[in-house]
A and B are shown apart, each in its own frame.
Chain A
Amino acid sequence: MTDTLLLAGTRKGLLLARRRGGSWHTEPLALPMTAVYAVGIDARRPTPRLFASATSEHWGPTILHSDDLGASWSEPDHAPVAFPKDVETALARVWQIQPGPSSDPDVMYAGTEPAALFRSEDGGINFELVRPLWEHPHRPQWGAGYGGQAIHTVLPHPVDPRRILIALSSGGVYRSYDSGESWAAANTGIKATFLPEEQRYPEFGQCVHKVAQDAENPERLYLQNHNGVYRSDDWGGTWVSIAQGLPGEFGFGIVADPHRGGHAYVFPLVSDYSRFTPDFRCRVYGTTDAGESWAEVGSGLPESEFYSLVLRDAFTADAADPLGLYFGTRSGELYAGGAGRWERVASNLPDVLSVRVLALA
Protein backbone atom coordinates (compact mmCIF):
# COMPACT_ATOMS: atom_id res chain seq x y z
CA MET A 1 0.00 0.00 0.00
CA THR A 2 1.30 3.45 -0.93
CA ASP A 3 2.75 5.52 1.88
CA THR A 4 0.49 8.49 2.32
CA LEU A 5 0.44 11.88 4.02
CA LEU A 6 -3.01 13.09 5.00
CA LEU A 7 -3.64 16.70 5.96
CA ALA A 8 -6.79 17.42 7.93
CA GLY A 9 -7.63 21.00 8.76
CA THR A 10 -9.89 21.25 11.78
CA ARG A 11 -11.64 24.03 13.60
CA LYS A 12 -8.82 24.14 16.13
CA GLY A 13 -5.70 23.07 14.30
CA LEU A 14 -4.06 20.91 11.65
CA LEU A 15 -3.68 17.16 11.94
CA LEU A 16 -1.10 15.29 9.89
CA ALA A 17 -1.52 11.55 9.55
CA ARG A 18 1.00 9.31 7.81
CA ARG A 19 0.37 5.84 6.50
CA ARG A 20 3.50 3.72 6.40
CA GLY A 21 3.43 0.04 5.66
CA GLY A 22 -0.34 0.06 5.84
CA SER A 23 -0.59 1.59 9.34
CA TRP A 24 -1.67 5.11 10.16
CA HIS A 25 0.22 7.31 12.60
CA THR A 26 -1.09 10.70 13.65
CA GLU A 27 1.06 13.58 14.79
CA PRO A 28 0.28 16.11 17.52
CA LEU A 29 -2.09 18.82 16.35
CA ALA A 30 -0.21 21.62 14.56
CA LEU A 31 -1.29 25.27 14.38
CA PRO A 32 -3.44 24.91 17.53
CA MET A 33 -6.32 27.31 18.14
CA THR A 34 -6.63 28.19 14.49
CA ALA A 35 -9.44 27.15 12.17
CA VAL A 36 -7.83 25.51 9.16
CA TYR A 37 -10.50 26.02 6.50
CA ALA A 38 -8.20 25.04 3.65
CA VAL A 39 -5.24 22.80 3.14
CA GLY A 40 -3.45 22.55 -0.16
CA ILE A 41 -0.71 20.54 -1.80
CA ASP A 42 1.40 21.74 -4.70
CA ALA A 43 2.82 18.51 -6.07
CA ARG A 44 4.41 20.24 -9.08
CA ARG A 45 7.60 20.82 -7.07
CA PRO A 46 10.40 18.30 -6.53
CA THR A 47 9.42 18.35 -2.86
CA PRO A 48 5.69 19.06 -2.67
CA ARG A 49 4.79 22.29 -0.91
CA LEU A 50 2.03 22.03 1.67
CA PHE A 51 -0.29 24.88 2.56
CA ALA A 52 -2.65 25.59 5.43
CA SER A 53 -4.92 28.57 5.85
CA ALA A 54 -5.09 29.26 9.56
CA THR A 55 -7.52 31.71 11.11
CA SER A 56 -7.31 32.68 14.74
CA GLU A 57 -10.50 33.95 16.30
CA HIS A 58 -8.38 36.62 17.91
CA TRP A 59 -5.42 37.25 15.66
CA GLY A 60 -6.90 36.90 12.20
CA PRO A 61 -6.11 34.87 9.09
CA THR A 62 -2.91 33.80 7.39
CA ILE A 63 -1.55 31.14 5.05
CA LEU A 64 1.41 29.02 6.09
CA HIS A 65 3.48 26.75 3.89
CA SER A 66 5.79 23.84 4.49
CA ASP A 67 8.60 22.64 2.25
CA ASP A 68 9.50 19.68 4.48
CA LEU A 69 6.22 17.76 4.35
CA GLY A 70 4.84 19.32 7.48
CA ALA A 71 7.85 19.14 9.80
CA SER A 72 7.87 22.96 9.96
CA TRP A 73 5.60 25.75 8.78
CA SER A 74 6.44 29.31 7.80
CA GLU A 75 4.84 32.44 6.46
CA PRO A 76 6.03 35.81 5.23
CA ASP A 77 6.15 38.74 7.67
CA HIS A 78 3.61 40.60 5.58
CA ALA A 79 0.14 39.12 5.16
CA PRO A 80 0.29 36.58 2.32
CA VAL A 81 -3.31 37.34 1.39
CA ALA A 82 -4.73 40.80 2.04
CA PHE A 83 -7.11 43.12 0.27
CA PRO A 84 -5.52 46.24 -1.22
CA LYS A 85 -6.14 49.44 0.76
CA ASP A 86 -8.41 50.99 -1.86
CA VAL A 87 -10.81 48.04 -1.66
CA GLU A 88 -11.57 48.85 2.00
CA THR A 89 -12.29 45.21 2.77
CA ALA A 90 -10.62 42.89 5.23
CA LEU A 91 -9.88 39.21 4.73
CA ALA A 92 -11.91 36.97 7.01
CA ARG A 93 -10.42 33.62 5.99
CA VAL A 94 -9.06 31.61 3.10
CA TRP A 95 -11.37 28.80 1.99
CA GLN A 96 -9.37 27.32 -0.85
CA ILE A 97 -5.71 26.94 -1.83
CA GLN A 98 -5.28 25.60 -5.32
CA PRO A 99 -2.25 25.08 -7.58
CA GLY A 100 -2.49 26.77 -10.96
CA PRO A 101 -2.07 25.08 -14.32
CA SER A 102 0.86 22.74 -14.81
CA SER A 103 2.31 25.12 -17.40
CA ASP A 104 2.66 27.84 -14.71
CA PRO A 105 4.38 26.01 -11.85
CA ASP A 106 4.66 29.10 -9.64
CA VAL A 107 1.02 30.10 -9.93
CA MET A 108 -1.24 29.39 -6.98
CA TYR A 109 -4.78 30.57 -6.27
CA ALA A 110 -6.60 31.35 -3.05
CA GLY A 111 -10.37 31.62 -2.71
CA THR A 112 -11.47 33.74 0.21
CA GLU A 113 -14.20 35.07 2.44
CA PRO A 114 -15.44 37.64 1.60
CA ALA A 115 -15.77 36.17 -1.87
CA ALA A 116 -12.63 37.01 -3.81
CA LEU A 117 -9.95 35.26 -5.81
CA PHE A 118 -6.26 35.87 -5.18
CA ARG A 119 -3.39 34.79 -7.42
CA SER A 120 0.22 34.10 -6.49
CA GLU A 121 3.07 34.03 -8.95
CA ASP A 122 5.75 33.06 -6.43
CA GLY A 123 4.59 29.62 -5.48
CA GLY A 124 2.00 30.66 -2.92
CA ILE A 125 4.05 32.94 -0.68
CA ASN A 126 2.40 36.24 -1.67
CA PHE A 127 -0.99 36.64 -3.34
CA GLU A 128 -2.67 39.53 -5.16
CA LEU A 129 -6.36 40.22 -5.64
CA VAL A 130 -7.80 39.25 -9.04
CA ARG A 131 -9.55 42.56 -9.55
CA PRO A 132 -11.75 41.79 -12.57
CA LEU A 133 -13.70 39.23 -10.53
CA TRP A 134 -13.86 41.51 -7.50
CA GLU A 135 -15.19 44.29 -9.74
CA HIS A 136 -17.74 42.05 -11.45
CA PRO A 137 -21.13 43.81 -11.61
CA HIS A 138 -22.83 40.78 -10.04
CA ARG A 139 -20.73 40.89 -6.89
CA PRO A 140 -22.94 43.30 -4.89
CA GLN A 141 -25.79 40.82 -5.37
CA TRP A 142 -23.89 37.75 -4.24
CA GLY A 143 -25.23 36.35 -1.00
CA ALA A 144 -23.82 34.45 1.91
CA GLY A 145 -24.53 30.91 2.98
CA TYR A 146 -24.68 29.83 6.59
CA GLY A 147 -20.92 29.46 6.64
CA GLY A 148 -20.26 32.89 5.15
CA GLN A 149 -19.76 34.23 1.62
CA ALA A 150 -16.73 32.64 0.07
CA ILE A 151 -15.07 31.33 -3.05
CA HIS A 152 -14.55 27.70 -2.14
CA THR A 153 -13.74 26.17 -5.52
CA VAL A 154 -10.96 27.17 -7.91
CA LEU A 155 -10.43 24.94 -10.94
CA PRO A 156 -7.80 25.77 -13.53
CA HIS A 157 -8.70 24.11 -16.83
CA PRO A 158 -6.60 20.95 -17.22
CA VAL A 159 -5.58 21.73 -20.81
CA ASP A 160 -6.02 25.44 -21.53
CA PRO A 161 -3.96 27.50 -19.06
CA ARG A 162 -5.98 30.64 -19.84
CA ARG A 163 -9.20 29.15 -18.52
CA ILE A 164 -10.19 29.11 -14.88
CA LEU A 165 -13.49 28.36 -13.17
CA ILE A 166 -14.54 29.32 -9.65
CA ALA A 167 -17.60 28.71 -7.49
CA LEU A 168 -18.96 30.53 -4.51
CA SER A 169 -21.74 30.31 -1.98
CA SER A 170 -23.89 31.95 -2.80
CA GLY A 171 -23.39 33.27 -6.29
CA GLY A 172 -22.73 30.12 -8.26
CA VAL A 173 -20.18 29.25 -10.91
CA TYR A 174 -18.14 31.81 -12.87
CA ARG A 175 -15.58 31.12 -15.56
CA SER A 176 -12.87 33.02 -17.37
CA TYR A 177 -11.31 32.26 -20.74
CA ASP A 178 -8.62 34.93 -20.50
CA SER A 179 -6.59 34.21 -17.37
CA GLY A 180 -9.05 36.01 -15.12
CA GLU A 181 -9.34 39.26 -17.07
CA SER A 182 -13.07 38.77 -17.61
CA TRP A 183 -15.67 36.54 -15.98
CA ALA A 184 -19.14 35.27 -16.83
CA ALA A 185 -21.70 33.37 -14.77
CA ALA A 186 -22.04 29.70 -15.76
CA ASN A 187 -25.12 28.39 -13.94
CA THR A 188 -27.54 27.40 -16.70
CA GLY A 189 -29.57 24.46 -15.47
CA ILE A 190 -28.65 24.73 -11.79
CA LYS A 191 -31.67 25.15 -9.56
CA ALA A 192 -31.91 27.60 -6.67
CA THR A 193 -34.47 25.84 -4.49
CA PHE A 194 -34.40 28.62 -1.93
CA LEU A 195 -36.06 31.06 -4.37
CA PRO A 196 -39.74 31.31 -5.35
CA GLU A 197 -40.74 28.68 -7.94
CA GLU A 198 -40.75 30.98 -10.95
CA GLN A 199 -37.29 32.36 -10.09
CA ARG A 200 -35.45 29.10 -9.52
CA TYR A 201 -33.12 29.23 -12.51
CA PRO A 202 -31.42 32.63 -12.23
CA GLU A 203 -28.33 33.64 -14.17
CA PHE A 204 -26.43 33.63 -10.88
CA GLY A 205 -27.08 33.43 -7.16
CA GLN A 206 -27.18 29.65 -6.83
CA CYS A 207 -25.67 28.19 -3.69
CA VAL A 208 -23.15 25.89 -5.32
CA HIS A 209 -21.32 23.85 -2.69
CA LYS A 210 -18.44 22.31 -4.65
CA VAL A 211 -17.30 21.53 -8.21
CA ALA A 212 -14.90 18.78 -9.32
CA GLN A 213 -13.06 18.20 -12.60
CA ASP A 214 -13.40 14.94 -14.52
CA ALA A 215 -10.12 13.08 -15.00
CA GLU A 216 -10.31 12.45 -18.73
CA ASN A 217 -12.72 14.91 -20.30
CA PRO A 218 -11.40 18.44 -19.74
CA GLU A 219 -14.85 19.90 -20.43
CA ARG A 220 -16.64 17.68 -17.92
CA LEU A 221 -17.39 18.87 -14.39
CA TYR A 222 -19.38 17.51 -11.46
CA LEU A 223 -21.21 19.80 -9.03
CA GLN A 224 -22.75 19.37 -5.61
CA ASN A 225 -25.38 22.03 -5.16
CA HIS A 226 -27.47 23.18 -2.24
CA ASN A 227 -30.03 20.54 -3.24
CA GLY A 228 -29.00 18.87 -6.45
CA VAL A 229 -26.06 17.10 -8.04
CA TYR A 230 -25.14 18.11 -11.59
CA ARG A 231 -22.78 17.42 -14.46
CA SER A 232 -21.59 19.70 -17.21
CA ASP A 233 -20.04 18.43 -20.43
CA ASP A 234 -19.27 21.87 -21.79
CA TRP A 235 -17.15 23.29 -18.97
CA GLY A 236 -20.04 24.89 -17.15
CA GLY A 237 -21.98 26.13 -20.17
CA THR A 238 -24.96 23.98 -19.21
CA TRP A 239 -25.66 21.65 -16.32
CA VAL A 240 -27.85 18.54 -16.11
CA SER A 241 -29.05 16.78 -12.99
CA ILE A 242 -27.32 13.53 -12.10
CA ALA A 243 -29.02 13.13 -8.72
CA GLN A 244 -31.18 10.23 -9.86
CA GLY A 245 -30.16 7.15 -7.91
CA LEU A 246 -28.78 8.99 -4.90
CA PRO A 247 -30.56 8.62 -1.55
CA GLY A 248 -30.37 12.38 -1.01
CA GLU A 249 -29.44 15.25 -3.28
CA PHE A 250 -28.13 17.61 -0.64
CA GLY A 251 -24.50 17.54 0.40
CA PHE A 252 -21.37 19.62 0.50
CA GLY A 253 -18.42 17.88 -1.11
CA ILE A 254 -17.97 16.21 -4.49
CA VAL A 255 -14.79 14.46 -5.55
CA ALA A 256 -13.67 13.14 -8.92
CA ASP A 257 -11.24 10.28 -9.36
CA PRO A 258 -8.07 11.99 -10.62
CA HIS A 259 -7.32 9.19 -13.10
CA ARG A 260 -10.56 7.57 -14.23
CA GLY A 261 -12.98 9.51 -16.33
CA GLY A 262 -16.62 9.28 -15.29
CA HIS A 263 -15.79 8.37 -11.70
CA ALA A 264 -17.06 10.74 -9.01
CA TYR A 265 -18.08 10.55 -5.36
CA VAL A 266 -20.47 12.35 -3.01
CA PHE A 267 -21.52 12.19 0.62
CA PRO A 268 -25.30 12.51 0.41
CA LEU A 269 -27.48 14.21 2.99
CA VAL A 270 -31.27 14.10 2.97
CA SER A 271 -32.04 17.75 2.16
CA ASP A 272 -31.39 21.29 3.29
CA TYR A 273 -34.22 20.79 5.81
CA SER A 274 -32.72 17.56 7.10
CA ARG A 275 -28.98 17.78 7.08
CA PHE A 276 -28.44 14.20 8.11
CA THR A 277 -27.32 11.17 6.17
CA PRO A 278 -30.21 9.02 4.89
CA ASP A 279 -31.31 6.62 7.66
CA PHE A 280 -28.47 8.07 9.74
CA ARG A 281 -26.02 5.75 7.96
CA CYS A 282 -22.60 7.14 7.12
CA ARG A 283 -22.17 6.50 3.39
CA VAL A 284 -20.12 7.58 0.41
CA TYR A 285 -21.79 7.10 -2.98
CA GLY A 286 -19.91 6.77 -6.21
CA THR A 287 -20.57 6.72 -9.92
CA THR A 288 -18.47 5.10 -12.62
CA ASP A 289 -20.61 6.35 -15.51
CA ALA A 290 -20.55 10.12 -14.98
CA GLY A 291 -23.63 10.17 -12.82
CA GLU A 292 -25.95 7.88 -14.77
CA SER A 293 -26.00 5.53 -11.77
CA TRP A 294 -24.76 5.56 -8.20
CA ALA A 295 -23.79 2.93 -5.64
CA GLU A 296 -22.50 2.79 -2.08
CA VAL A 297 -18.73 2.69 -1.84
CA GLY A 298 -16.97 0.25 0.45
CA SER A 299 -17.97 -1.08 3.83
CA GLY A 300 -17.12 -0.50 7.44
CA LEU A 301 -18.59 2.98 7.97
CA PRO A 302 -21.08 3.59 10.82
CA GLU A 303 -24.34 1.80 10.03
CA SER A 304 -26.65 3.72 12.35
CA GLU A 305 -27.01 6.69 14.68
CA PHE A 306 -24.62 8.76 12.59
CA TYR A 307 -25.72 12.35 13.15
CA SER A 308 -22.71 14.10 11.70
CA LEU A 309 -21.84 15.19 8.15
CA VAL A 310 -18.92 15.96 5.86
CA LEU A 311 -18.18 19.56 4.92
CA ARG A 312 -17.33 20.61 1.37
CA ASP A 313 -13.56 20.46 1.55
CA ALA A 314 -13.27 17.63 4.03
CA PHE A 315 -13.52 15.03 1.27
CA THR A 316 -10.78 14.13 -1.20
CA ALA A 317 -9.22 11.40 -3.30
CA ASP A 318 -5.65 10.28 -3.86
CA ALA A 319 -4.04 9.29 -7.14
CA ALA A 320 -3.51 5.65 -6.25
CA ASP A 321 -4.71 2.49 -7.96
CA PRO A 322 -7.04 1.35 -6.52
CA LEU A 323 -8.39 4.77 -5.63
CA GLY A 324 -8.22 5.94 -2.02
CA LEU A 325 -10.92 8.24 -0.66
CA TYR A 326 -10.59 10.26 2.54
CA PHE A 327 -13.05 12.32 4.54
CA GLY A 328 -13.40 14.01 7.88
CA THR A 329 -16.60 14.67 9.78
CA ARG A 330 -17.95 17.54 11.79
CA SER A 331 -17.81 15.20 14.74
CA GLY A 332 -14.07 14.81 14.41
CA GLU A 333 -13.54 11.46 12.78
CA LEU A 334 -11.17 10.94 9.90
CA TYR A 335 -11.73 7.99 7.54
CA ALA A 336 -9.72 6.44 4.71
CA GLY A 337 -11.06 3.87 2.31
CA GLY A 338 -12.56 3.27 -1.07
CA ALA A 339 -13.92 0.24 -2.79
CA GLY A 340 -12.78 -2.06 0.02
CA ARG A 341 -13.11 -1.49 3.71
CA TRP A 342 -13.03 1.95 5.31
CA GLU A 343 -10.82 2.50 8.31
CA ARG A 344 -10.91 5.19 10.93
CA VAL A 345 -7.65 7.13 10.92
CA ALA A 346 -8.43 9.44 13.83
CA SER A 347 -11.27 10.39 16.14
CA ASN A 348 -12.10 12.96 18.79
CA LEU A 349 -10.76 15.77 16.61
CA PRO A 350 -12.34 19.19 16.43
CA ASP A 351 -14.74 19.54 13.44
CA VAL A 352 -12.86 18.57 10.29
CA LEU A 353 -13.00 21.40 7.75
CA SER A 354 -10.54 20.40 5.03
CA VAL A 355 -8.73 17.27 3.89
CA ARG A 356 -6.05 16.74 1.24
CA VAL A 357 -3.79 13.78 0.60
CA LEU A 358 -0.36 13.18 -0.87
CA ALA A 359 1.17 9.90 -1.97
CA LEU A 360 4.72 9.69 -0.66
CA ALA A 361 7.48 8.27 -2.83
Chain B
Amino acid sequence: MTDGMDVTLHVPGALAGYAGGRREVRVALGAGELATTVSGVLDRVAAELPALERRIRDENAAIRRHVNVYVDGADIRTLSGAQTTVPAGGVIDVIAAVSGG
Protein backbone atom coordinates (compact mmCIF):
# COMPACT_ATOMS: atom_id res chain seq x y z
CA MET B 1 0.00 0.00 0.00
CA THR B 2 3.01 2.35 0.56
CA ASP B 3 6.79 2.11 0.57
CA GLY B 4 8.94 2.11 3.69
CA MET B 5 8.44 -0.08 6.72
CA ASP B 6 5.83 -2.55 5.72
CA VAL B 7 4.76 -6.16 5.70
CA THR B 8 3.71 -8.27 2.75
CA LEU B 9 0.44 -10.14 2.47
CA HIS B 10 0.47 -12.95 -0.06
CA VAL B 11 -3.01 -13.29 -1.53
CA PRO B 12 -4.23 -16.67 -2.83
CA GLY B 13 -5.19 -16.74 -6.48
CA ALA B 14 -8.86 -17.23 -5.60
CA LEU B 15 -8.86 -13.85 -3.87
CA ALA B 16 -6.69 -11.86 -6.24
CA GLY B 17 -9.79 -10.36 -7.83
CA TYR B 18 -10.55 -8.66 -4.53
CA ALA B 19 -7.05 -7.13 -4.46
CA GLY B 20 -7.16 -5.53 -7.87
CA GLY B 21 -5.67 -8.64 -9.44
CA ARG B 22 -2.62 -8.57 -7.20
CA ARG B 23 -1.18 -11.63 -5.51
CA GLU B 24 0.81 -9.47 -3.12
CA VAL B 25 -0.37 -6.56 -0.99
CA ARG B 26 2.06 -4.33 0.87
CA VAL B 27 0.78 -3.01 4.18
CA ALA B 28 2.57 -0.02 5.67
CA LEU B 29 3.42 0.12 9.35
CA GLY B 30 2.93 3.31 11.31
CA ALA B 31 5.69 5.83 11.76
CA GLY B 32 8.35 4.32 14.03
CA GLU B 33 6.44 1.07 14.24
CA LEU B 34 8.73 -1.95 14.11
CA ALA B 35 6.06 -4.62 14.26
CA THR B 36 2.33 -5.16 14.34
CA THR B 37 0.03 -8.15 14.64
CA VAL B 38 -1.87 -10.22 12.10
CA SER B 39 -4.99 -8.52 13.38
CA GLY B 40 -3.37 -5.12 12.91
CA VAL B 41 -2.43 -5.96 9.34
CA LEU B 42 -5.91 -7.17 8.50
CA ASP B 43 -7.47 -4.07 10.05
CA ARG B 44 -5.46 -2.00 7.59
CA VAL B 45 -6.40 -4.30 4.72
CA ALA B 46 -10.05 -3.86 5.74
CA ALA B 47 -9.76 -0.11 5.34
CA GLU B 48 -8.52 -0.31 1.77
CA LEU B 49 -9.66 -3.67 0.46
CA PRO B 50 -12.75 -4.63 2.48
CA ALA B 51 -13.93 -7.26 0.00
CA LEU B 52 -10.58 -9.05 0.46
CA GLU B 53 -10.49 -8.76 4.24
CA ARG B 54 -14.03 -10.08 4.74
CA ARG B 55 -13.07 -13.27 2.99
CA ILE B 56 -10.24 -13.83 5.44
CA ARG B 57 -12.10 -12.77 8.60
CA ASP B 58 -15.75 -12.71 9.60
CA GLU B 59 -17.57 -9.65 10.94
CA ASN B 60 -16.22 -10.36 14.42
CA ALA B 61 -12.68 -10.12 13.07
CA ALA B 62 -12.21 -13.85 13.61
CA ILE B 63 -10.12 -15.57 10.95
CA ARG B 64 -12.41 -17.91 9.05
CA ARG B 65 -12.32 -21.54 10.07
CA HIS B 66 -11.04 -22.89 6.79
CA VAL B 67 -8.45 -20.21 6.17
CA ASN B 68 -4.86 -20.84 7.21
CA VAL B 69 -2.60 -17.89 7.98
CA TYR B 70 1.16 -18.10 8.25
CA VAL B 71 3.62 -15.48 9.44
CA ASP B 72 7.07 -15.97 8.02
CA GLY B 73 6.18 -19.59 7.39
CA ALA B 74 4.70 -20.37 10.82
CA ASP B 75 1.03 -21.28 11.26
CA ILE B 76 -0.41 -18.63 13.55
CA ARG B 77 -2.59 -21.28 15.23
CA THR B 78 0.64 -22.57 16.78
CA LEU B 79 1.61 -19.05 17.84
CA SER B 80 -0.74 -16.39 19.17
CA GLY B 81 -3.44 -16.56 16.56
CA ALA B 82 -4.52 -13.19 15.22
CA GLN B 83 -2.35 -11.54 17.89
CA THR B 84 0.78 -13.11 16.44
CA THR B 85 3.47 -10.51 15.93
CA VAL B 86 4.38 -9.54 12.41
CA PRO B 87 7.73 -7.74 12.24
CA ALA B 88 8.54 -5.07 9.71
CA GLY B 89 9.51 -6.90 6.55
CA GLY B 90 7.46 -9.91 7.59
CA VAL B 91 5.41 -11.99 5.19
CA ILE B 92 1.87 -13.21 5.78
CA ASP B 93 0.57 -16.07 3.68
CA VAL B 94 -3.18 -16.63 3.42
CA ILE B 95 -3.97 -20.15 2.19
CA ALA B 96 -7.20 -22.10 1.79
CA ALA B 97 -7.35 -25.00 4.24
CA VAL B 98 -8.17 -28.55 3.23
CA SER B 99 -11.97 -28.72 3.28
CA GLY B 100 -15.00 -29.07 1.08
CA GLY B 101 -16.06 -31.66 -1.46
Q: Which residues of A does B touch, CB under 8 Å? A: 33, 56-60, 62, 75, 77-79, 82-83, 85, 88-91
Q: Given the complex of chains A and B, what is the CA–CA distance between A56 and B99 in angstroms?
A: 11
Q: Is the CB of B60 within 8 A of A57?
A: no
Query: Is there a chain A Cβ closer than 8 Å to B55's Cβ?
Result: yes
Q: Is B74 an interface residue (CB 8 A)?
A: no
Q: Which residues of B contact A90 (CB under 8 A)?
A: 58-60, 62
B 13-37 contacts with A by CB, 8 A = 14-15
B67 contacts A by Cβ under 8 Å = yes
- B→A interface (CB under 8 Å): 14-15, 49-51, 54-56, 58-60, 62, 64, 66-67, 96-97, 99-100
CB of A83 within 8 A of CB of B99, answer: no
Q: Specify the chain A residue showing the minimal Cβ separation from B55.
A: A59
Q: Is A58 within 8 A of B59, CB to CB?
A: no
Chain A residues whose C-beta falls within 8 Å of the C-beta of B55 in the assembled complex: 56, 58-60
A58 touches B97 (CB 8 A): yes
Q: Which residues of A contact B58 (CB under 8 A)?
A: 60, 90-91
A316 to B62, CA, bound (A): 37
Select B64's contact among A59, A62, A83, A89, beta carbons within 8 Å: A59
Partner among B50, B66, B67, B100 whose Cβ is within 8 Å of the Cβ of A78: B50
* Extra 6 A-B pairs, beta carbons < 8 Å, given A77-B49, A82-B59, A90-B58: A57-B99, A59-B56, A59-B67, A79-B59, A85-B60, A89-B60
Please indicate the chain A residues that have their CB under 8 angstroms from the CB of B66 in the complex: 57-58
Question: Are B54 and A78 touching (Cβ within 8 A)?
Answer: yes
In the docked arrangement, what's the CA distance between A77 and B48, Å? 10
The smallest C-beta distance from B11 to any residue of chain A, in angstroms, reads: 12
* Alpha-carbon gap, A89 to B64, bound state (A): 13
Report the nearest A residue to B15, measured CB to CB.
Answer: A59
Distance, CA A91 to CA B97, complexed state (A): 19
User: B56: nearest residue on chain A (CB-CB)?
Assistant: A59
In angstroms, Cα B62 to Cα A88, docked, is: 10
- A60-B60 contact in complex given A75-B51, A77-B51, C-beta closer than 8 Å: no
Measured in the bound complex, the distance between the Cα atoms of B15 and A60 in whole Å is: 12
Contacting pair A60 B96 (CB below 8 A):
no
Contact check, B99 vs A58: say whether CB atoms are below 8 A apart.
yes
Q: Are the C-beta atoms of A77 and B50 separated by less than 8 Å?
A: yes
Is B54 within 8 A of A79, CB to CB?
Answer: yes
4 smallest CB-CB distances across A and B, nearest first, come from A59-B55, A90-B58, A82-B59, A57-B100
In the bound complex, how far is the Cα of B15 from the Cα of A91, in angstroms?
A: 20
Residue in B49, B58, B96 whose Cβ sees the most chain A Cβ within 10 Å: B58
Closest residue on chain A to residue B62 by CB atoms: A90
A127 to chain B, nearest CB (A): 12
Given contacts A58-B96, A58-B99, A59-B64, contact A91 B51 (CB under 8 A): no
- Shortest CB–CB separation between residue A73 and chain B, in angstroms? 12
Contacts of B50 in A (CB 8 A): 77-79
Q: Which residues of B contact A77 (CB under 8 A)?
A: 49-51
Complexed CA–CA distance, A58 and B78 (Å): 20
* Cα-based distance from A57 to B100 in the complex (angstroms): 6
Give the distance in Å from the alpha carbon of A279 to the alpha carbon of B66 in the complex. Answer: 41
A-B contact pairs, 9 of them (CB 8 A): A58-B100, A59-B14, A59-B55, A59-B67, A77-B50, A78-B50, A88-B60, A89-B60, A90-B58
Given A82-B59, A91-B59, the answer on whether A58 and B64 have CB atoms closer than 8 Å is yes
Q: Who on chain B is nearest to A92 by CB?
A: B58
Question: How many angstroms between the C-alpha atoms of A59 and B56 in the bound complex?
Answer: 6
Which of chain A's residues have a CB closer than 8 A to the CB of B54? 60, 62, 78-79, 82
Chain A nearest Cβ from B59, distance in angstroms: 4
Residue from the set A56, A58, A77, A91 with the largest chain B CB neighbour count within 10 Å: A58
Neighbouring A residues of B97 by C-beta, 8 Å = 58
